[in-house]
Copies of this chain bind each other. A is one copy, B any other.
């Protein structure tokens, strides 16, 4: 059993520490434990263990096999673990496909996620002669901003969309920006249906954006990846459809790396 005494902070909450000690009893080898198993392993009082595991069970951190009365780790831990997994693997999974996309399309590549109803840039690739994005990695924007915003919002249900638009009203970033709520919602529907977005000078003048969603094993949209092209000329690739395919392919590669299954 692991020792955490080295890193100890001055703050201790006995009850919590003990609950975590109980969770620590479980492992790949020990997937099922009875009450007395846990009493023996932790050295705690029977009643204490019973009280803590009852609590952990009602909260989904443990679950009980009704027949054997034994306990195993619960679905809530799977859910929380999934969140951790998706965040630390996303950037890694996206790294190479982003660089490749930058080279193939010869344009700036952006990766963003939805954090607390805001668009947050996670990573980017920009090169000489390419469009410079005003936002640095880590910066936040309204969730309705630009190509990444539209992709991320297209996965929300209508009440969430409504809430976001109330908190961050649509702004005319450029003359071509959509500012009407209904029109915007219609656009989101379109994006959801076709699986990508082509945004022409709606966020930044003279810039066209093409973006698509990235999903993980849970099939949820966890990020949006897009590229920013100069509105006038095209760089290496002339056909817009070809670039759309490049973006979609990159997103599919990353998604499948995150455990997303196409069928």
Chain A residues within CB distance 8 Å of chain B: 4, 7-9, 11-17, 19-20, 23, 26-33, 50-52, 54-59, 61, 72-75, 77-88, 113-117, 220, 222, 259
Contact = CB atoms under 8 A, between A and B. Distances in A.
A178 to B, nearest CB: 23
B83 A52 contact: no
A20 B61 contact: yes
B84 A74 contact: yes
A194 B177 CA distance: 63
Contact of A26 (B54, B56, B83): B83
10 contacts: A13-B19, A15-B16, A16-B56, A26-B83, A28-B83, A29-B116, A31-B83, A32-B115, A77-B80, A81-B82
A135 B92 CA distance: 45
Contact of A84 (B13, B32, B77): B77
Contacts of A115: 29-32
A85 B80 contact: no
Top 4 closest A-B pairs, CB basis? Answer: A81-B81, A11-B54, A15-B15, A78-B84
Contacts of A81: 77-82, 84-85
Given A13-B15, A75-B84, 8 more contacts: A11-B54, A13-B19, A15-B16, A28-B222, A72-B84, A72-B87, A73-B80, A78-B88
A219 to B, nearest CB: 12
A28 B84 contact: no
